Structure 1
């Protein structure tokens, strides 16, 4: 009897130690049944832990080594396990979020699989079938199976619910330095997608030209329609405390446009904007201000002012040269 009790205690101690070791090997608290089997935990051992209330199974092939809600990273691993290890890659906006994309909300986990793959539907996961899986598109470092950022961004744009969302995700990835404009453009040569091809090509060219926000893209398109020369983006000037950057403008005539997003009204941002505009004025430049909502709703009225200012300053420059 004593021997049996000692053996039972030893077994419990071993299991406790083994569970702690599993946590260190897990993917933020989750492992696949295949991985657990490789580590010596068969289905009966897993069932014992689940029945004891220590573990839970958030999927047919996924085991959580706890009973709390899964983290974002763990949800991504669950998606890979359930859709198919070796087949599925976390892709689209989800891959960008793993890479560090901030301030973009998406309730689902997006994964891609080859179009010939037969995979099950998985709750909370959007499965995209792609025609080609290229060697370069997989993030080569160890960890979560996912696509590299420019591939993820282009596919996210094709899978977006609207052109506005497509443009937003492409520009946000560039703004947050997840990829360079050159890397994005190079990737676009191969990753083409099936829908809104021309629109995405236009956005990528805009990113290459230095456009960093949708407001800049909108106003640049309006300038093109009005026949104005292409403006320069992210213009560097000297301010009271060092370098300042203006959204777009024409340096040759001293006309600059500032497009204010929602963030411009937060805290002291408005004061900083005023200081920046005043610094340009002191250097004999002209700054026209507009907000992103205004550009969308009253773009033509704003463009009337831009065209008038451009014509006036162009005439002044020609007069000064003459």
Structure 2
């Protein structure tokens, strides 16, 4: 047995090895059984073991999934997107894309997603590295099968906002992945992102404006408050009489008591006789945009506003 060969492979694979790989390297099954029985190695599934003990890291769990599923399987979905750098979209389970015709036992902590697509065409990593789906097909396939349409839209906006990809690349992959569930919706999201929207709330504002004939607001305008601090507003419309209506959209983090108090002070110090500041929640903007649009119209935001 050549220890050097399997040790090098284990190093490249975060100390995870498939039994078939060990056999190919000349490590007999009896040696494998001995190392497992002596607690030097740990069997993690029917086909995969680790050369270290203890709880698996997230990276090791990814290797467990692809080694267990076999050749051509890929880390996919939000797991792949996280590998490519996507922030704030983590899930507990690791997602692995597998051929629809393959059959194998389940593995705790790993979600195997079956597909008829040609998996090598989706790969975004080099040979010898962790097999990972490219970012664009990873987020698009997640968006297509995700139960929540909001999450489907949000992950595309996040990937672009975090500068991991572009709307043009994602639109190109939508064409390559045809047929793709929710393709019309995903294209509309990318059109909004191309137009400058960088979050679901901004997308919702643009859709509200289009459906009610309101002008698209100026976003993230820098303003100085009464203390001389630079602040950025969510949405602004200048009225015909020169006054400005500012709409601030409160997300979930605004429910924090400390954050709420800071927001109240911020809005008070930004207020002037010529600035009208109104607030709504992201949930209201999503579920009841009509009432927000009516309130904006009542304040004087018309199609002639710039």
Shared fold, TM over 0.5: yes
Residue among 220, 229, 232 paired with 1:245: 232
Q: Give, in whole Å, the separation in 2 of the partners of 1:298 and 1:132.
A: 42
SS in structure 2 at match of 1:80: helix
1:89, CA displacement in angstroms?
A: 1.3
1:259 matched to 2:249? The reply is yes
Superimposed CA distance per residue, residues 241-264 of structure 1 (whole angstroms, 9 cap, x where no aligned partner): 665433333357633322111112
- Choose between structure 1 and 2: higher helix proportion: 1
Mark the CA change 1:276 to 1:178 in structure 2 (over 3 Å): closer, same or farther. farther
Taking the aligned partners of 2:251 and 2:155, their CA distance within structure 1 comes to 16
1:76 aligns with 2:46: no
Gaps of 5+ in 2: none
1:305 aligns with 2:306: no
Q: Does 1:290 align with 2:280?
A: yes
TM-score using structure 2 length = 0.80
* Cα distance in 1 between the residues matched to 2:171 and 2:253: 29
Kept in 1, the 8 Å contact 2:167–2:190? The answer is yes
Take 1:166 and 1:302, find their aligned partners in 2: how far apart are those partners? 24
Query: Residues 23 and 196 (structure 1 numbering): CA distance in 2 closer, same or farther, change over 3 Å?
Result: closer
Task: Tell me which of the two structures has the higher relative contact order, counting C-alpha pairs closer than 8 angstroms and 6 or more residues apart.
Answer: 2
User: Normalising by structure 1, what TM-score?
Assistant: 0.77
Aligned residue in 2 for 1:166 = 152
CA deviation after TM superposition for structure 1 residue 266, in Å = 3.4
Give the C-alpha shift of residue 129 in structure 1. 0.8
Aligned to 1:106: 91
SS, match of residue 125 in structure 1: strand
| CA distance in structure 2 between the aligned counterparts of 1:140 and 1:269, rounded to whole angstroms | 44
Q: Structure 2 residue aligned with 1:48, among 2, 15, 34? A: 34
Greater shift, 181-190 or 89-98, is seen at 181-190
Deviations 1:168-200 (A, max 9, x none): 322333344332344333433323443222111
Q: Is the 8 A contact 1:235 1:248 kept in 2?
A: yes
| Cα distance change of structure 1 residues 118 and 313 upon mapping to structure 2, 3 Å threshold | closer
- Cα distance change of structure 1 residues 197 and 297 upon mapping to structure 2, 3 Å threshold: closer
**Alpha-carbon deviations, 1:152-173, whole Å to 9, x = none?**
1111100201212212322333
Give the counterpart of 1:120 among 85, 104, 107. Answer: 104
Q: What is the number of residues matched between the two proteins?
A: 299
The separation in 2 between residues aligned to 1:71 and 1:130, in whole angstroms, is 29
What CA distance in whole angstroms lies between the structure 2 residues aligned with 1:283 and 1:313? Answer: 23
In structure 2, relative to structure 1, the CA distance for the partners of 1:311 and 1:127 (3 Å cut) is closer
| Inter-CA distance 59–136: structure 2 relative to 1 (3 Å threshold) | closer
Pick the structure with greater CA Rg: 1
Aligned to 1:188: 174
